[in-house]
Structure 1
Amino acid sequence: MTYDAILFDNDGVLVDPPAHADQVAAIRDAFDELGIESADEEHLSALTAGVTPDLLADLERTYGVDREALWDARERHDERSQFEAFRAGRRDSYDDVTALADIDQPCGLVSNNHHTTVEFVLDRFAFGEQFETYYGRPMTIESLSLKKPNTHYLDRALSDLGGGSALYVGDSESDVVAAERAGMDSVFVRREHSRDVALSMEPTYEVETLHAVRDIANDAA
């Protein structure tokens, strides 16, 4: 199989994923900003990942707060928390990202994280030259329906790179599913946080480092 483009996820592939405790603390700050001082811990945790419009509607009814206001506060505090974690050194890039410079094909980045956070990462770690296109999501409720496993941003990124066959590199089941739906081969990276993840869909490849991704890409160039 030859590949015309290589696409990467961001969190957990290029950089450390956000710590759950940091995410919960940021969301608690968002509730505090809105005057909600007794938010249920399960609701705080539910807002860290896999958020749906239906969940926001439930929280609107539960706490009597406008869902748009809640999501706006959640996104702002989550963004701030992530920037602070990077600046404080609690999150960093993985050492093996150096392998990206040796990949022959054009590369893109597609993340479920905020587009602004993706831009922050590209700038902080000087990844900009490695990626010809990149997408995160806008900080809107509407963006939730476009997150992976939706193929929306994968399709856009591949189109930007000229189309053809592609390989998508991720660290979650939604990455593998999104690649499958987009007609792409997939690489599942088993880093420490994803070492024991059980997948219901088999990826095309499983690796432990980005050096292995480089070898797969270049062997198929």
Structure 2
Amino acid sequence: MTEYDAVIFDNDGVLVEPPAYDTQSEATRTAFEAVGVADADRTHLDAVVGGVTVDGLYELCTAYDLDPESFWAAREHHDEQSQLEKFRAGARTCYDDVSALSGLSDLTSSCGLVSNNHHSTIEFVLEFFELHSLFDTYYGRPKTIESLRLKKPNPHYLDKALADLGAESALYVGDSESDVVAAHRADMDSVFVRRAHCRDVSLSTDPTYEVKTLHDVAALLDE
């Protein structure tokens, strides 16, 4: 097996349980209400929760005659708050196998974290679950419209993490096709973790490895 200078992890669906669709949908509905839209169409809620693009966001806001910046600020605020509430209530938590990461310092030089979630949400997760010491660098995105252009599969934040770590060969661990594509665009090998929420997902891009748990990731590095 290839020896890696660094291993970088996704957050949602890899380290912590992913946010529930209903939670994100309700947060988005609250954001619409905050900017004066009391009856947002379900298809528009689905579009935002499903990963709206910059162009799609502007089209959506035009349909309601909304200022895109104001709506997106409301959406990001309520989305983040809904996530923090679930973490604090224990309704959303860290996966048990994150304990496998504590031994990675013996198997690789450094570890990082790159997520499509808000950077401030990632900071909360690392603090709340006492994971800070496991990572040498981490990136989420700022709560801006333009940050949507930098989400995976764009490798922007993976490239930044690799530069921080000074890594020439690295492995990215994720739970979605966009994670696999982003890794390959960043010239990284990829691990697809088949958690319960993605167990039956069909990928059009093959990951370098497929595993069931983070213990399997540690085992790969130990080969």
TM-score interval w.r.t. the shorter chain? over 0.9
More deviation, 50-59/174-183? 50-59
Task: Tell me by how many angstroms 1:40 deviates.
Answer: 0.1
CA shift digits 1:183-220 (9 cap, x unpaired): 1000000000000000001100000000000111233x
Residue identity over aligned pairs, in percent, reads: 62
CA shift digits 1:123-159 (9 cap, x unpaired): 0111100000000000001101111011110011011
Instruction: Specify the alignment match of 1:59 in structure 2.
Output: 60
Select 2:130's aligned residue among 123, 126, 130.
126
Task: Tell me by how many angstroms 1:34 deviates.
Answer: 0.7
Structure 1 position 14 matched with structure 2 position 15 = yes
Q: Which runs of structure 2 are paired with 1:160-179 in the superposition (5 Å)?
A: 160-179=164-183
| Runs of 4+ with deviation above 6 angstroms | none
- The aligned amino acid for 1:203 is P
CA shift digits 1:79-126 (9 cap, x unpaired): 000000101111000000000011122100000000000000000111
Task: Output the CA distance in 2 between the equivalents of 1:124 and 1:206.
Answer: 29
More deviation, 36-45/107-116? 36-45
Structure 1 contact 6–217 (Cα < 8 Å) conserved: no
Task: Tell me by how many angstroms 1:48 deviates.
Answer: 1.0
> Structure 1 regions of 5+ residues with no counterpart?
none
Instruction: Specify the alignment match of 1:214 in structure 2.
Output: 218
Task: Output the CA distance in 1 between the equivalents of 2:163 and 2:55.
Answer: 31
What's the TM-score once normalised by structure 2's chain length? 0.97
Q: Which runs of structure 2 are paired with 1:137-176 in the superposition (5 Å)?
A: 137-176=141-180
Instruction: Specify the alignment match of 1:37 in structure 2.
Output: 38
Task: Output the CA distance in 2 between the equivalents of 1:18 and 1:8.
Answer: 17
Task: Output the CA distance in 2 between the equivalents of 1:66 and 1:59.
Answer: 10
Task: Tell me by how many angstroms 1:49 deviates.
Answer: 3.0
Task: Output the CA distance in 1 between the equivalents of 2:216 and 2:167.
Answer: 24
Task: Output the CA distance in 2 between the equivalents of 1:208 and 1:163.
Answer: 26
Structure 1 contact 191–208 (Cα < 8 Å) conserved: yes
Between Structure 1 and Structure 2, how many residues are aligned? 219
Task: Output the CA distance in 2 between the equivalents of 1:138 and 1:217.
Answer: 32
Task: Output the CA distance in 2 between the equivalents of 1:128 and 1:45.
Answer: 33
In angstroms, what is the RMSD of aligned CA positions? 0.7
What's the TM-score once normalised by structure 1's chain length? 0.98
> Structure 2 regions of 5+ residues with no counterpart?
none
Task: Output the CA distance in 1 between the equivalents of 2:167 and 2:192.
Answer: 22
More deviation, 158-167/13-22? 158-167
Task: Output the CA distance in 1 between the equivalents of 2:51 and 2:30.
Answer: 19
Tell me, what secondary structure is at the counterpart of 1:47? helix
Tell me, what secondary structure is at the counterpart of 1:83? helix
- The aligned amino acid for 1:149 is P
